[in-house]
């Protein structure tokens, strides 16, 4: 068999580029250029200063990336694969930037789009798509993380109003959000509520001293008998399923995002290994380093193919939550392996913010925890394989 005369590209070893359409490549290249111009020159400082400029949301809105996979209400209606490629490029910049987009589009906007009334959709989604209003998604509580069904935050009816009381923890964008989508227990099951910033009794407190996902705001939401009008509830979500269905969307984005973080680490290690000389030779010439590079390239390629496969399945309307769990489990674990290996290739320089690797490595410790820990996704897959629920 004749070997095709195609050039082998170290940074796309399996030629995954060829599996994308022209439109998909255009979207990817646009987001990559945005990240190169607007994120990479600054993100080391943001990470060090533990902040993310919220004006970035306006820029992301202008590019049409917020809720880009949703239809109508000012959203782009892009394919799941195009959305995935976007998450991959954003997270090649920083997990915090992808988080901003995930929480806005896949959690807050998706919750309203999927479970909201027509009035709620018209009021919030166009502004959120433009980046003029920021959303957050409050499910986790101090004592209810992996097991959100044990949440204590309660909403009770008082005449035609709702009154919310409780606390949410670890909420991305919490203190910068114009709108919090808050999940609370009611007499009729877990429901979602739209809580605008400034509502009496609603306050936030940022979580400090994080060593991971520093270019991202994480907050506590405090709900002290917050009174909301009757139409603040998402009418179509009547059980925990409402909240969990949103997680599928964000987890799907992470399947791709993790590939971006892994790719950035691999590329940094490859470039460094070719430039750095020890014992009179580039360290890339040593077998031990080549083995690391080969394994990282393999992990990045394998994770990319898995993400693309799940993306095509999602676009065909046949992607199941359990398959998303497998994707998140596999690709975040792979990205962590790549980041840890790449960090070693960089030697002492691998521990500074002059290179992206340790920033990604630390960020991935959040990514492997939020949106369901690796353990939780292993149990979802295990349950699907065996038919036995091992959570309790
Ligand atoms: P379980 O009895 O299994 O389910 C309750 C109801 O929900 C349905 N369901 C789902 N529906 C859609 N998609 C899914 N993935 C679903 N998983 C379950 C289920 O069918 C059932 O429906 P129904 O109609 O029969 O009532 O619930 P459980 O209490 O046993 O819990 C299952 C478990 C452990 C898998 C779930 O609670 C879980 O996923 N835990 C992990 C929690 C988590 O991922 N939290 C994420 C918080 S948000 C976040 O981290 C944002 S970070 C974003 C960023 O910054 O990028
Ligand atoms: P726990 O649930 O207490 O888990 C602790 C350990 O026990 C983990 O290793 C876990 O895998 C293990 N474990 C738990 N149950 C089992 C079991 N049945 N079997 C085996 N092992 C088990 N939440 C939101 O709602 N909105 C957000 O925007 C948001 N953003 C976040 C941003 C960051 C940076 C972080 C770190 C978290 C964020 N979260 C958010 C919360 C996140 O979803 C939770 O941290 C996550 O679901 C895990 O919950 P937990 O931290 O309470 O850990």
Last residue of a domain, one of 198, 218, 239: 239
CA dihedral 84, 131, 185, 228 (to 10 degrees): -160
The domain that holds 304 is classified in CATH as: 1.20.140.10
Ligand 1 pocket mutation pick from 244, 247, 324 by most atoms within 8 angstroms of CB: 244
Residue 1 lies in a domain: no
The count of domains in the chain is 3
pLDDT score of 2 more than 80: no
User: Are 233 and 265 part of one and the same domain?
Assistant: no
Nearest CA to ligand 1 atom 51: 371
Tell me the C-alpha distance between 291 and 299, whole Å: 12
User: Are 224 and 284 part of one and the same domain?
Assistant: no
pLDDT score of 1 more than 60: no
Name all residues whose Cβ lies below 6 A of ligand 1. Answer: 99, 102-103, 137, 139-140, 146, 148-149, 172, 239-241, 244-245, 247-248, 250, 321, 370-372, 376, 380, 391
The number of the ligand 1 atom at minimal distance from the alpha carbon of 239 is 26
Ligand 2 pocket mutation pick from 146, 168, 210, 242 by most atoms within 8 angstroms of CB: 146
The domain that holds 85 is classified in CATH as: 1.10.540.10
User: Are 262 and 197 part of one and the same domain?
Assistant: no
Last residue of a domain, one of 239, 260, 282: 239
Residue 6 lies in a domain: no
User: Are 43 and 125 part of one and the same domain?
Assistant: yes
On whether the CB atoms of residues 164 and 228 are closer than 8 A, the answer is yes
Cα(135) to ligand 2 centroid in Å equals 20
User: Are 172 and 249 part of one and the same domain?
Assistant: no
Residue 358 lies in a domain: yes
Nearest CA to ligand 2 atom 42: 370
**Model confidence over 209-235: pLDDT tens digits?**
999 999 999 999 999 999 999 999 999
Ligand 2 contact via 331 beta carbon (within 6 Å): no
**Model confidence over 49-90: pLDDT tens digits?**
999 999 999 999 999 999 999 999 999 999 999 999 999 999
**Model confidence over 150-171: pLDDT tens digits?**
999 999 999 999 999 999 999 9
Instruction: Note down the domain range covering 76.
Output: 11-129
User: Are 139 and 112 part of one and the same domain?
Assistant: no
Catalytic residue numbers read 371
Ligand 2 contact via 170 beta carbon (within 6 Å): yes
Residue 391 lies in a domain: no
pTM above 0.75, yes or no: yes
User: Are 52 and 183 part of one and the same domain?
Assistant: no
Ligand 2 pocket mutation pick from 149, 167, 170, 216 by most atoms within 8 angstroms of CB: 170
Q: pLDDT-based confidence at 5, cuts 50/70/90?
A: low
Residue 3 lies in a domain: no
On whether the CB atoms of residues 181 and 218 are closer than 8 A, the answer is no
Residue 141 lies in a domain: yes
Q: pLDDT-based confidence at 198, cuts 50/70/90?
A: very high
**Model confidence over 83-92: pLDDT tens digits?**
999 999 999 9
User: Are 116 and 191 part of one and the same domain?
Assistant: no
Query: Residue 7 has what pLDDT?
Result: 85
Nearest CA to ligand 1 atom 26: 241
Q: pLDDT-based confidence at 106, cuts 50/70/90?
A: very high
pLDDT score of 3 more than 70: no
Q: Do strands 218-228 and 202-206 pair parallel, antiparallel, or not at all (unpaired)?
A: antiparallel
**Model confidence over 340-361: pLDDT tens digits?**
999 999 999 999 999 999 999 9
Q: Looking at residues 265-277, what average pLDDT do you find?
A: 98
User: Are 358 and 259 part of one and the same domain?
Assistant: yes
The number of the ligand 2 atom at minimal distance from the alpha carbon of 390 is 18
């Amino acid at each position: 068999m004749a070997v095709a005369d195609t050039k082998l590209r170290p940074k796309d070893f399996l030629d995954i580029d060829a599996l994308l359409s022209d439109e998909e490549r255009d979207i990817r290249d646009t987001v990559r250029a945005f990240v190169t111009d607007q994120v990479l020159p600054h993100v080391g400082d943001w990470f060090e200063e533990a902040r993310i400029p919220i004006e970035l949301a306006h820029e992301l809105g202008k590019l049409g990336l917020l809720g880009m996979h949703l239809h109508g209400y000012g959203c782009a209606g892009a394919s799941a694969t195009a959305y995935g490629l976007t998450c991959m490029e954003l997270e090649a910049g920083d997990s915090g930037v992808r988080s901003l987009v995930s929480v806005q589009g896949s959690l807050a906007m998706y919750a309203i789009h999927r479970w909201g009334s027509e009035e709620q959709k018209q009021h919030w989604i166009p502004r959120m798509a433009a980046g003029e209003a920021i959303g957050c998604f409050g499910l986790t509580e101090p004592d209810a993380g992996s097991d959100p069904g044990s949440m204590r935050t309660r909403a009770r009816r008082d005449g035609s109003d709702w009154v919310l009381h409780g606390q949410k923890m670890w909420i991305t964008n919490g203190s910068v959000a114009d709108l919090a989508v808050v999940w609370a227990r009611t007499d009729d099951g877990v429901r979602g509520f739209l809580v605008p910033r400034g509502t009496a009794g609603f306050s936030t407190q940022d979580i400090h001293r994080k060593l991971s996902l520093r270019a991202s705001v994480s907050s506590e939401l405090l709900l002290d008998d917050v009174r909301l009008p009757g139409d603040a509830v998402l009418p179509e979500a009547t059980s925990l399923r409402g909240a969990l269905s949103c997680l599928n969307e964000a987890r799907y984005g992470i399947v791709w995002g993790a590939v971006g973080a892994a790719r950035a680490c691999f590329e940094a290690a490859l470039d460094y290994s070719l430039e750095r000389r020890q014992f009179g030779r580039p360290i890339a010439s040593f077998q031990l380093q080549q083995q690391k590079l080969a394994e990282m390239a393999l992990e990045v390629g394998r994770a990319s193919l898995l993400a693309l496969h799940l993306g095509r399945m999602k676009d065909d309307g046949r992607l199941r939550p359990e398959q998303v769990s497998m994707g998140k489990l596999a690709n975040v674990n792979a990205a962590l392996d790549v980041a840890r290996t790449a960090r070693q290739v960089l030697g002492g320089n691998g521990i500074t913010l002059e290179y992206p690797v340790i920033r990604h490595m630390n960020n991935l410790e959040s990514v492997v925890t939020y949106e369901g820990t690796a353990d939780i996704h292993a149990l979802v897959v295990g349950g699907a394989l065996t038919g036995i629920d091992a959570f309790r």
